[in-house]
Chain A
Amino acid sequence: MADAVETVPTKGPLIYRQSIFTRVTHWVWAICLFFLLLSGLQIFNAHPSLYIGQQSGFEFDNAILELYAVNTDDGPRGRTRLFGQEFDTTGVLGMSGSADRPAFRGFPAALTIPSFQDLATGRVVHFFFAWLFVLTMFIWFLASFINGHIRRDIVLGPKDIKGIPKDIKDHATLKFHHGRSYGPLQKLSYFGVFFILFPLIILTGLTMSPGMDSAWPWLLDVFGGRQTARTIHFGVMVLLVSFFIIHIIMVLAAGPINELRSMITGWYRASPGTTTNEGEQK
């Protein structure tokens, strides 16, 4: 029995960390964002350029990103022009597909839904999952305000802000504290996603609709025109994809089984010494 007691301190308590609302909205969002990304790239491919301003310039140049194909002495090549810098991106951007049947398109078939060029279907898929995404966000905000998830895990308190330098050091050395509430950097990134990126990608998406612009003309003033809104929409997508990559890396680094279990069953193995009411402010 004495031996058993020796091994116990290496394991912390199992705590109920994620409510049913957090878990269900998490997975619905995962599905939504997957379809939104791939149908969004389909829509982007209908005109694979991004501009700054009120209009897309073809008699003047206000493009910051263009994907296109050019004819060279070695045959057609795919090109990407980003902030005036041109890159050869044959095989991925501008031109992709097999050598005998090349496709001249922005993003390759593997990254769009459907794989072939079909703007109408891309829009059908995009808007369906956009509604599901927004509905899920509404439920998440309501539930998270009521059950304290936002207060406990998303908004940074003075203690969190003071703890940021230490948390950066801990992340750099892959030492994670598994507590009841989220750590400072975790809170910071989720705050950015929920309170900045999600609202921004929804509002810039609405700004692209001429109908919405007549209902809410302020959208055009806030974002500086439909073309700028489209560019911001794309930029936020890039940030969300980056968030996804870091999210997956952190789940793998912090213990994928434990992290996945907490997002499926709600139960989480906390660090030794964690009290079950840690982080609760009543």
Chain B
Amino acid sequence: MSRLQLTRRRFLGASAATASSLVLAGCEQFDFLGSRDNEVRNVLEMANTLTYKVQRGLIGQQSLAREYSASEIRQGQRPNGSTDPTTEEYKALVASNFADYQAQDYRHGGAGGQFFAGRITQYAGAKPDYPS
């Protein structure tokens, strides 16, 4: 019986510890994982190498992304990130309405064909709320 009570006490202690860490967890408990030079984070990041290697092994050299016909595209393209660069080169392209725009095909050393005629719309994405 005394052995059982000891285990019970240990159970209660362990479950109380687990419960309190569960409650605290979401708050700031694991925010240290966000700092890029944290040692624990570096260990967790090793899984990325595993993911990469396994995926490249499965994908092989010849697999391509699935292609969709034009009729399956239901809407315009919306870019991520900067939508209105301020470089001279880009401004000149805007001025000519992208008439001279060309995608470079570096693999074969030559210029590729007209690549992108999609509209550019402003993307009002959610603002990041990093702690200040």
- Answer yes or no: are A and B bound together in one complex: yes
- Which residues of the other chain, A, contact B118 by a CB distance below 8 angstroms? none
In the complex, whether A231 has a CB less than 8 A from a CB of chain B is no
Stretch in A76-84, A115-123, A173-181, A187-195 touching the partner: A115-123
Partner of A103 from B11, B22, B26, B129 at Cβ < 8 Å:
B129
Q: Is the CB of B33 within 8 A of A210?
A: no
Bound-state CA distance A260–B9 (Å) is: 12
Q: Whole-angstrom distance from the CB of B7 to the nearest CB of chain A?
A: 6
Q: Which residue of A lies closest to B68 (CB)?
A: A54
In the complex, whether B108 has a CB less than 8 A from a CB of chain A is no
Q: Is the CB of A111 within 8 A of B26?
A: yes
- Which residues of the other chain, B, contact A55 by a CB distance below 8 angstroms? 74-75
Partner of A114 from B7, B30, B68 at Cβ < 8 Å:
B30
Bound-state CA distance A58–B127 (Å) is: 18
- Which residues of the other chain, B, contact A209 by a CB distance below 8 angstroms? 55
In the complex, whether A185 has a CB less than 8 A from a CB of chain B is no
Given A114-B31, A214-B66, are A38 and B26 neighbors across the interface (CB < 8 Å)?
Answer: yes
Bound-state CA distance A211–B78 (Å) is: 21
In the complex, whether B82 has a CB less than 8 A from a CB of chain A is no
Partner of B11 from A113, A213, A260 at Cβ < 8 Å:
A260
Q: Which residue of B lies closest to A214 (CB)?
A: B63
- Which residues of the other chain, B, contact A124 by a CB distance below 8 angstroms? 33, 41, 44-45, 47-48
Which B32-81 residues sit within 8 Å CB-CB of chain A?
33-34, 41, 43-48, 50-51, 55, 58-60, 63-66, 68, 72, 74-76, 78
Task: Give the size range of B's interface with the partner.
Answer: 35 or more
Bound-state CA distance A124–B28 (Å) is: 17
In the complex, whether B27 has a CB less than 8 A from a CB of chain A is yes
Partner of B26 from A112, A130, A261 at Cβ < 8 Å:
A112
Q: Which residue of A lies closest to B22 (CB)?
A: A34
Q: Mark B1-31, 1 if CB is under 8 A from A, else 0.
A: 0000001100100010000001001111011
Bound-state CA distance A162–B68 (Å) is: 50
Q: Is the CB of B78 within 8 A of A58?
A: yes
Q: Is the CB of A217 within 8 A of B27?
A: no
- Which residues of the other chain, B, contact A213 by a CB distance below 8 angstroms? 65-66
Bound-state CA distance A131–B51 (Å) is: 8
Bound-state CA distance A180–B100 (Å) is: 76
Q: Is the CB of A116 within 8 A of B50?
A: no
Bound-state CA distance A220–B58 (Å) is: 16
Bound-state CA distance A118–B28 (Å) is: 13
Bound-state CA distance A261–B14 (Å) is: 12
Given A121-B34, A215-B58, are A113 and B65 neighbors across the interface (CB < 8 Å)?
Answer: no
Most chain A CB within 10 A, of B28, B34, B74, B78, is at B34
In the complex, whether A109 has a CB less than 8 A from a CB of chain B is yes
In the complex, whether B117 has a CB less than 8 A from a CB of chain A is no
- Which residues of the other chain, B, contact A127 by a CB distance below 8 angstroms? 47-48, 51
Q: Whole-angstrom distance from the CB of A231 to the nearest CB of chain B?
A: 17
Residue ranges of A at the interface with B (Cβ–Cβ < 8 Å): 34, 38, 48, 54-55, 57-60, 103-105, 109-118, 121, 124-125, 127-128, 130-131, 209-217, 220, 256-257, 260-261, 264-265
Residue ranges of B at the interface with A (Cβ–Cβ < 8 Å): 7-8, 11, 15, 22, 25-28, 30-31, 33-34, 41, 43-48, 50-51, 55, 58-60, 63-66, 68, 72, 74-76, 78, 126-131
Q: What are 12 pairs between A and B in contact, CB < 8 Å? A: A38-B25, A38-B30, A60-B75, A105-B129, A116-B131, A124-B48, A127-B48, A128-B46, A130-B47, A210-B65, A212-B55, A220-B66
9 closest Cβ pairs, A-B complex:
A59-B75, A128-B47, A110-B26, A128-B44, A214-B63, A114-B34, A215-B58, A215-B59, A114-B31
